[in-house]
Amino acid sequence: MHEVYNELTHFIPKEQLLIDEPMKNHTSFRIGGPADLMVLPSEIEHIRSTLEVCQKWNVPFIIMGNGSNLLVRDKGIRGVVIKIANTFNRIWVEGCCIKAQAGALLSTLSKKALQAELKGLEFASGIPGTLGGAIVMNAGAYGGEMKDVVDWVKVMDAHGSEFCLDNAELEFGYRTSYVQKRGLIVLEANLALSPGKYAEIKAVMADLTRKRQEKQPLSLPSAGSVFMRPPGYFAGKLIEDAGLKGFRIGDAQVSEKHAGFIVNLGNATANDVLSLIEVIQQRVKEKYGVELKPEIRIVGEE
């Protein structure tokens, strides 16, 4: 990794290169061992240079956003983590569109839309992730999803080539996209919104915030909904009906507020969470014959 680090210092400021960086500092779960090297790009060229250097030295890399949908295993991540978040988050409002870099937070984008009296992004106001991460998994909540607002996306492939994809080419589905299937890196996106009234947009956002606060365990570290919604069911209800609400392994607990969430009571390890996921899957399969598939992304050395 020293060769990779030394070479990257020619392209990227040293303060944007973090060695043996604890991943628990970069995930909303507050869990995860160290990454060999974390890169915090502030320019597209930083991303391209990192890909080139990783390929030259045959070092694996992963892309992450705000870490709000991520479980990093306890031994951490071998290779390079490219974190596209608050160093790569510029936003431009242009008429009825908002263009932004992939690291912009959805919560920030929805506030910008409110200020510009643009509607369509209210559903995203409480989603804690970045624009890039939301596009990769077609994030959604309360009846809205990214496919409803994305006009086009600029992406980069693993070889450093940039190109744009329009809404149809993005092949958005339930928690999936062409970007995810092809392992592309989101650089920026253009969101097409429509004119609205400030008070009405603000009222919708306030209503969704109230619903979230009532139903979700926002006071404890988590990675949001752990499982995808199985066809015809709600994961949280299946888990609750299986008698697992409040069940815990170590400091990982099925939330007492919403059984679709696993929360970190303080010192949960990734192994605690993974063991809990396994118990939930087994119990729900035994009781209802339904297979729960994780919605969270699990990475790192086993």
Pairing of strands 61-64, 77-83: parallel
Place of tokens 């597209």: 44
Q: Does residue 161 carry a catalytic annotation? A: no
The packing angle between helices 106-115 and 198-215, to 10°, is: 150
Grouping H, G, I as helix, E, B as strand and the rest as coil, residue 162 is strand
Backbone angles phi, psi at 133, to 5 degrees: -60, -40
Phi, psi of 250 (to 5 degrees): 60, -130
Check 49, 110, 225, 255 and give the catalytic one. Answer: 225
Instruction: Find, among 246, 233, 249, 227, the residue nearest to 288 by Cα.
Output: 233
> Is-catalytic flag, 291?
no
Active-site annotation holds for 248: no
Cα-based distances in Å from 156 to 37, 61, 68, 98, 168: 21, 14, 22, 20, 18
Q: Of 175, 177, 222, 255, which one is the catalytic site residue?
A: 175
Return the biggest CA–CA distance within the chain: 57
| 218 vs 263: CA distance, rounded Å | 9
| Number of other residues whose CB lies within 10 A of the CB of residue 1 | 14
CA distances from 135 to 60, 147, 154, 167, 281 (A): 23, 8, 11, 11, 27
Distant-in-sequence, close-in-space partners of 146: CB < 8 Å, separation ≥ 6:
124, 134, 135, 138, 139, 140, 172
CA distances from 295 to 68, 72, 138, 193 (A): 12, 14, 12, 27
Enumerate the active-site residues. 175, 225, 295
